[in-house]
Structure 1
Amino acid sequence: MHKKTMLIAGASILAFAQAAQAQEATAEEAVNSGLEDIVVTAQKREQNMQSVPVAVTALSGEAIANQRIADFSDLTRAAPSLTITQTTSSPNNSIILRGIGTFAFSIGVEPSVAVIIDDMPVVQQAQAFDNMADLSRIEVLKGPQGTLFGKNSSAGVVNIVTKDPGSSFEGSIGATVATDGDVRAEAMVSTPLADGVGLRLTGFYHDYPGNVRNLTSGRKLNDQSNYGVRAKLRAELGSAVTLTLTGAYSKATQDGTATTIREIRGTGTPRVFGSPALPLLPSLTGITPGAGNTNARVDAFGATENETASIAGKLSVDLGFADLISVTAFQDWKYNFQNDFDNTDLNVLSAFTGGAVNGGLTQSGPYHSKNFTQELRLVSGGSSALKYVVGGFYSNARTTRAFLRGPVVAVANWSARNTSETLGLFAQLDYTLPTNTTISGGVRYNHEKIAVAFDNNVAGATANQCAPGNPLCRGSNTDEVVTWKGSISQELAQQVMVYGSVARGYKGFAYDITSGFNPARINGALNGTGAGLIGVGPVKPETSTSYELGLKSRFADNRIQFNLIGFLTNYNNFQAQSAILVGTPPAPQFVLNNVGKLRTKGFEVELVAKPSDWLKIDAGAAYTDAVMTSFPQAQGYPGQTGQIWNGTASVLVGPCVSAAAATAAAPRTTCAFQDRSGARLPNSPRFKWNIGATADFPLGDATGTAIISYQHQSAVNFDLLGNPLTVQKGYGVMNASLGAEFGSVKLVAFVNNLFNKRYASSLSDGFGTLGGSASNDTHVIYQFLSRDSQRYAGIKATVSF
């Protein structure tokens, strides 16, 4: 696969070299034919994507429809540098760009990849996993973007732009049905209300029955039912002032969530918390572990509810020399969940209470986030050599969360609040010399105050365990930083540009708000005896320095687009989360770490060709080498053997290596800590590529369209600590569709995952709850299977008017 991509890149470079010399004579004709131009706002101003010295993958509204991008996770088909780790709970999902994402679900940790919808940054990344209806474009900006987009964009930005009302009446109704029971409906109407005033209304509904069968109850799990509406009013208040008001509401619910067993590994018998009365295997009747296993047995079905409401106003004033833009937004996000903590249908509580309490272990808890944002920016107008963007940004976010687990084993019961108030000032200047050389420089000042309050509501909680009302479990931290970016670009010929850039990224302090919270996570000092305390105050800021070289080009009469980007980014104190086992019986407890240093480097290739008016080819590839260059005191993964911690001092005594099989005379030694320096980051494929072709052809009085696409990625490990049992091997998926457009009616038949390739969107080790009883080497590996990991077909009908 690698050789094929290199051949494509080599052929494209050769074609570029031959065509560039003859390009000038046909420049004007070329611009008006061939590939369409895509306008992006990657630098807070509208620009042609090919002229922006930023690595950006942009999808037009037509491309979004053709590639059937209906959910956020579908973006991985079109952006090779993007991967998504999916779980049964959307707050635990992770958006990853160039190997860098957010590997933590503390409410105190902001995502490394910012998601922005119509100039409004979302507070929690989970808000992004919603239906994507009636979009104008999607921009995936890769690498640190903190200068213009703020501190929570240390790995990149996904910028989503919805469609504005048009100047004439239009509408559409669409419905999709699929063989796996999935049903979708969308409706849109856009109408002028008065001269210069228009309204656009969009609504969607989605129902999916699920892909996992709970053999205990007979019902399906991982279902989804969601709906939403959006209203957008755009009014021209005179010749120089435009006001856009947007209101949106959506709600998604699941009646049951579950993972399935992929593998059981080890010589012992998996038992819930090692209890002899709770062996797992007898309860697995009808379940055959494997990559294609879609059966589970759980007695707590699980449920989620995700509700988002937002309102935003954008005011644009044409001052002649510049545009003054104000964006004011408020969003309210609510989320609640419940799931089966022991992942079985065993009567766990009876075994531990002598029959006094029956049932299984569950965990649950609501989230609630509110965020007010205000951005004011001045964007230069005209076509002068000097261009600028100057602005300020204010954000006030508040998130609360409660968590309950038990009721009598592995008990947790806590509530917490996290607030963040941010003020940012930014500016960027671009100057184009007579040699068609453009020099750009940007800077951002960011001031932030974060605060936390944590109450451990478990009966008998001590002060060091954050008993309710303990003032030592309330705290705040203030931080300020300056980040910057510089670039230089050179136009070699019309529609051919090379550039280089360097940028400084930053992600601020974060409180580790998870079970096990204690005063040390606030003030950095052990209180009292300090027994059992984990943490040294808020987790330190994460910084990055990124270097990028790129070529952006169009040639062959504007029918071939070839972009090549090389990048290198170094991170210090990267924030990531891992699990340790605490308590009796031991239960997993998550701890936020500062990984010492990271490095991600590689290259990205994008090729778009339109050899004729009826055929278009899209291809992309990303080679990403994302490693932890220094992580010397990482926790050991579950059941890891060997020993590198000397037990008395914080000194490493060698790598944690495999040991011989355990025996009664020579039991295994658990690895408490390990050296992960040089290891790859989780869910970061070294190589990922996609290729697709779209062909238009006459079909009687109608127009037919055939689309075929293929995406492939190399193997990944989903565990930050390198558990060898959580590796997903490389795989490829092919999709195809055939459509016909009869005037205002369009019909599309499609098939997803044509060859039914099974793969996991995340893998986890159940060792914490299902370790062996006689030995410590039994592992139950669970997988989350996304809908797209199975073949399904369907048909979509759309009527426009």
Structure 2
Amino acid sequence: MAFGSQAHAQDTAPPVAEGATEASDIVVTATRRAEPLQKVPIAISVVGGDVLRSENRAGLQGISAIVPSLNFRNTASAKDQALFIRGLGTVSTSPGVEPTVSTVIDGVVLARQGQASMDLMDIDHIEVLRGPQGTLFGKNASVGAVNIVTRAPGDEFHGFFDLGYYTGGDEWRARAGVSGPLGEKVAFSLTGAYSHYNGNVKNVFDNSTVNGFRNAGVRGKLQFTPTENLTVTLIGDYADAKNTTPQGVVSSTTLVAYPTNAVTNFPAFAAAIAPVVPGAENRAINSNYFTNAQDKNYGLSAQIDWNIGDYTLTSITAWRGWKNDQAQDQDRLPGATTAFPQQHDIGNLSFDQYSQELRLASPKGQFIDYQVGLFYFQGDDTERYQRTTTLGTGASFLGVANYSVTNKSYAGFGEANVHFTDRFRATLGARVTRDELRYSFARTSTSPTPVTGIQTAFTAGGNTSNTGFSGRAGLQYDLTPKAMAYFTYGRGYKGPAYNVAFSMLPQDTSALRPETSNSYEIGLKSRFFSDVLRFNIAAFLDKFKNYQVNFFDTFNGSPVTRLINAGRVSTRGVELDVALQPSRAFTLSAGGAYTDARVDNFICPVGAAASCQINGKPLPYAPKWKGNVRASYEIPLSGDLSIRLTTDANAQSKVQYSINQTPTTAQSAFGIWNASLGLLGGDRWELNFVVKNITDKSYSTNLGTFGQGVVRFVPRDDRRYVGANFHFAY
């Protein structure tokens, strides 16, 4: 399924898809080949790079608003952020667990979910693939994958410049790039981007503005074609990002227990953060410790495509690095009191990954076409995390944890399509993965007994390995030349895990079992009235065993998170995409998803203090209903000059942010309405005036409990704001 109208014209021509018959065909690489979207038996949403630019959507959090099955967990640090597809994802800061949703950039998988938080540069389009994609996209794609495709170097010299400004925190965005030939057989592209935003949360302690960011990055490509059968593409990128997102904004100093609904008030804490007034729309903190996080993402990759007769051999060799440094005010106070100690944290992370993929693709058009391949991956993570607890008496304690995780993975995979007739096809794919995981952990403490937020000294280490299977089987039938129905079965697999984090406890030393799933999907992709109307629909059922999830608990009087195998969970629903384009000037699209993601049989951890009576309850970050509508109309003026009117709205039902089902961590239903007015000068330039959140609706992208209440995370569009962006191409 796809949001086809959002994959607009691109600055550079996409690759020609095998089987493409219409100029309007949207080209995707969801099967590791360039193919028309409407012929691929996978539920897919596609967002074009020009939409991200013109609508001020710079990252994956921005596209989650316009892809109904995709949700994003926002936190103070990229290390804790996560993506969810169809209500399933991984929430954990542990380097010993992989994300459930795989993120891939130009064929290179990002092993840690924090790596996917950077601003996106030079984007051609983004594909959101739903359902298990383990055959071709790897083991950590058990519920889906986000496939990011950047622009290829052009055959002719081309350049562009973008500049945008937005109110409500003085947000600036600038981007520029050049692309073209360096000779007869060499082409290049180079793109740079910078953005700055002061924020929309006030810290009354020092009258500063926080919840902002400063991002900068560069991406370059060199493409060599020494012969007509050989293409070598070298890619390098570097991104530096800093954010001042606080460790939550206090929205309530009341806790409501689940399942008893017992209410506990903390008036002393409310008094301690005065003059801040907690509330559902609060945008103020009172903190004496500067919470911030800095991320550096960088990498190199080399892709070789060699046509051997009618076959194509592809090799992708890649190295990526990620550094995350954070400082967090866990107590959220202007100072220690006799009732509430201070907790100040500093974390440092260094991660390197190496990957090699070899893939052989047979020619299309045969009775059987196929792809086979081998994959190797190694990830090395080293972290240091420290917490200082200061009591109201002035006594101070320090806890420091040093830990490391190494993950190695080996895989062989293959997928074949059998063309029984011109209209009837079958797909069969499989992947065998060998995982090897080891960790070491050591925590020291200046206190011989537990103090607030710091457990006693502890040392541990271990290793585990496992061989897992993932795959896909399906049938596909062309009802008409413009309508295709399909059914697929997919098996997902995500490897074993360890809960390696600052507060690691003796009960965390055992490896978690691999997470597996069985997925069933039936869908229809169709076009009517000479391609004026596109109608896609899919129904799905996914069942998971040994779901790896964080469960919030207490230990020695302190709140802790425990990564556990939660037992069995499932998600089922229907996704719909409709796109109407009666003329070149007018487009209308709508998408929606009904998702019933729930806990089927929760296995309560031994000794858990929190309630485990959550069978039948919703999974976190899984609204039952979510949808959007988008309309665009272009009015010609004179010559190449025209006006484009665009409006979009998205809405979702109530969503629970905690698997513990606490009533105070549920966000009520809300909707956001945006609009823009564009002045276009043909293909050369455009000026867009943007209004975000027209109705001035406040909402929270995350809600979490702490010892004395609830905090909210404030999104960029929590208030109405306006702006303008200018794009010039030459």
Same fold (TM over 0.5): yes
Shift of 1:237: 1.3
Distance change in 2, residues 1:135/1:268 (3 Å): closer
In structure 2, distance between residues paired with 1:632 and 1:202: 49
Conserved 8 A contact 1:374-1:393: yes
> Are 1:684 and 2:622 matched, yes or no?
yes
Give the match for residue 292 of structure 2: 303
How far off is 1:411 after superposition?
A: 5.2
Name which of 653, 657, 663 aligns with 1:718.
Answer: 657
Matched, 1:438 2:435: no
Matched residues in 2 for 1:205 and 1:32: separation? 37
Does the 8 Å contact 1:263/1:781 carry over to 2?
yes
Secondary structure, counterpart of 2:645 in structure 1: strand
Amino acid across the alignment from 1:77: A
Shift of 1:467: 5.3
1:794 aligns with 2:716: no
**Contact 1:262–1:293, Cα closer than 8 Å, also in 2:** yes
Deviation at 1:700, TM superposition (A): 3.7
Which residue of 2 is the match for residue 192 of structure 1? Answer: 181
399, 404, 426: which one pairs with 1:412? 399
Cα contact 1:221–1:301 (8 A) shared by 2 = no
In structure 2, what is the equivalent of residue 609 of structure 1?
580
Aligned in 2, Cα 1:516/1:800: closer, same or farther, shift over 3 Å? closer
The answer for the alignment partner of 1:396 in structure 2 is 378
Q: Please tell me the residue identity of whatever aligns with 1:344.
A: L
Residues 297 and 454 of structure 1: CA distance in aligned 2, closer, same or farther (over 3 Å): same
In the alignment, is the contact (CA less than 8 A) between 1:377 and 1:391 conserved in 2? yes
Q: Paired residue for 2:511, among 531, 538, 555?
A: 538
Letter in 1 for 2:101: V
Match among 663, 667, 671 for residue 732 of structure 1: 671
User: Could you tell me how far 1:263 is from its partner in structure 2?
Assistant: 2.1
The verdict on how the C-alpha distance between 1:285 and 1:700 changes in structure 2, with shifts beyond 3 A counting, is: farther
Determine helix, strand or coil for the equivalent of 2:717: helix
Determine if contact 1:201/1:229 at 8 Å carries over to the other structure. yes
Q: Which of 410, 414, 417 is residue 423 of structure 1 equivalent to?
A: 410
Distance 1:607-1:68 versus aligned 2 partners, 3 A rule: farther
The offset of 1:555, in angstroms, is: 1.3
Name the residue aligned to 1:225: 214
Number of the residue aligned with 1:96: 84
Post-superposition offset of 1:796: 0.4
Partners of 2:456 and 2:147 lie apart in 1 by: 39
User: Could you tell me how far apart the structure 1 residues matched to 2:718 and 2:365 are?
Assistant: 49
SS of residue matched to 2:432: strand
> Which of 94, 101, 115 is the aligned partner of 1:106?
94
Question: 1:762 maps to which residue?
Answer: 702
- CA contact under 8 A between 1:212 and 1:258: conserved in structure 2? no
Match for residue 356 of structure 1? Answer: none
Give 1:89-488 correspondences, 5 Å limit. Answer: 89-180=77-168, 181-255=170-244, 257-265=246-254, 270=266, 279-348=268-337, 360-408=342-390, 412-434=399-421, 436-459=423-446, 473-488=460-475
Q: In the alignment, is the contact (CA less than 8 A) between 1:704 and 1:740 conserved in 2? A: yes
Deviations 1:80-138 (A, max 9, x none): 00011101111111200000011222111100000000001112111111112221111
CA positional deviation for 1:66: 4.6
C-alpha deviation, 1:438, in angstroms: 0.6
Q: Is the 8 A contact 1:484 1:504 kept in 2?
A: yes
Larger radius of gyration: 1
Displacement of 1:380 in angstroms is: 1.3
Q: 1:372: how far off?
A: 0.3
Q: Determine if the alignment matches structure 1 residue 781 to structure 2 residue 710.
A: yes
Which position in structure 1 is the counterpart of 2:562? 591
Name the SS for the 1:611 alignment partner: coil
- Give matches, 1:589-668, under 5 Å: 589-633=560-604
Residue number in structure 2 paired with 1:56: 44
Structure 1 residues 120 and 32: alpha-carbon distance in aligned structure 2, compared to 1, 3 A threshold: closer
| AA in 2 matched with 1:723 | T
Measured against aligned partners, the alpha-carbon deviations of 1:720-768 in whole angstroms (never above 9, x if no partner) come to 110011110000001100101125231100011111110000001122x
Q: Is 2:595–2:622's contact at 8 Å kept on the other side of the alignment?
A: yes
Which one-letter code corresponds to 1:270 in the other structure? F
Residues 1:561 and 2:561 aligned together: no
SS in 2 for 1:789: coil
AA in 1 matched with 2:586: L
Q: CA deviation at 1:457?
A: 2.0
Name 2:681's counterpart in structure 1: 742
Output the amino acid matched with 2:109: P
Structure 2 counterpart of 1:8: none
* Aligned equivalent of 2:543: 570
- What is the deviation of 1:514? 1.9
1:227/1:283 CA distance change after superposition, 3 Å: same
Alignment size in residue pairs: 691
Distance between the aligned counterparts of 1:78 and 1:37, measured in 2? 21
The equivalent of 2:691 in structure 1 is: 751
Contact 1:514-1:591 within 8 A present in 2 as well: no
Identity %: 31
Preserved CA contact (<8 Å) 1:223 1:257: no
Per-residue deviation, 1:65: 3.8
Question: Is 69-78 or 159-168 further displaced after alignment?
Answer: 69-78
Which of residues 691, 697, 720 in structure 1 aligns to 2:635?
A: 697
Corresponding letter in the other structure for 1:747: L
1:269–1:280: 8 Å Cα contact kept in structure 2? no
After superposition, the C-alpha distances for 1:548-595 in whole angstroms (9 at most, x for unaligned) are 000001111011111010000100010001222223xx3211111111
Is the 8 Å Cα contact of residues 699 and 740 (structure 1) preserved in structure 2? no
Measure, in 1, the Cα distance between the counterparts of 2:162 and 2:48.
Answer: 19
Q: 2:452 matched to which residue of 1?
A: none
SS of the aligned residue for 1:126 comes to helix
- How far residue 158 of structure 1 moved from its aligned partner, in angstroms, is 0.2
Distance in 1, Cα, partners of 2:543 & 2:234: 40
Change (3 A) 1:347 1:112: same
Alpha-carbon distance in structure 2 between the residues aligned to 1:603 and 1:558: 23
8 Å Cα contact 1:717-1:728 kept in structure 2: yes
1:235 deviation in Å?
1.0
Could you tell me whether the CA contact under 8 Å between 1:262 and 1:290 is conserved in 2?
Answer: yes
Report the 3-state secondary structure (helix = DSSP H, G, I; strand = E; otherwise coil) of the residue aligned with 2:593: strand
Q: Deviations over 1:632-667 (max 9, x none)?
A: 5269xxxxxxxxx9xxxx9xxxxxxxxxxxxxxxxx
- Give the TM-score, by structure 1 length: 0.83
Aligned to 1:665: none
Structure-1 separation of matches of 2:279 and 2:312: 58
Q: Distance in 1 between matches of 2:242 and 2:629?
A: 34
- Which residues in structure 2 correspond to 1:14-33 (within 5 Å)? 32=22
Contact 1:454 1:466 in 2 (8 A): no
Shift of 1:255: 4.7
The answer as to whether partners of 2:54 and 2:688 remain within 8 angstroms in 1 is: no
Single out whichever of 752-761 and 694-703 deviates more from structure 2: 694-703
User: Conserved in 2, the CA contact under 8 Å of 1:634 and 1:721?
Assistant: no
| Partner Cα separation in structure 2 for residue 202 and residue 791 of structure 1 | 31
Structure-2 residue corresponding to 1:662: none
Greater share of helix residues, 1 or 2?
Answer: 1
Summarize the Cα distance change of 1:536–1:253 in structure 2 as closer, same or farther, 3 Å threshold: closer
User: More strand by proportion, 1 or 2?
Assistant: 2
Displacement of 1:676 in angstroms is: 1.3
Q: Which residue of 1 aligns with 2:11?
A: none
Deviations 1:509-542 (A, max 9, x none): 1011123434xxxxxxxxxxxxxx4246111111
Gap change, CA 1:89 and 1:311, over 3 Å in 2: same
The 1:624–1:351 alpha-carbon spacing in structure 2 relative to 1, beyond 3 Å, is closer
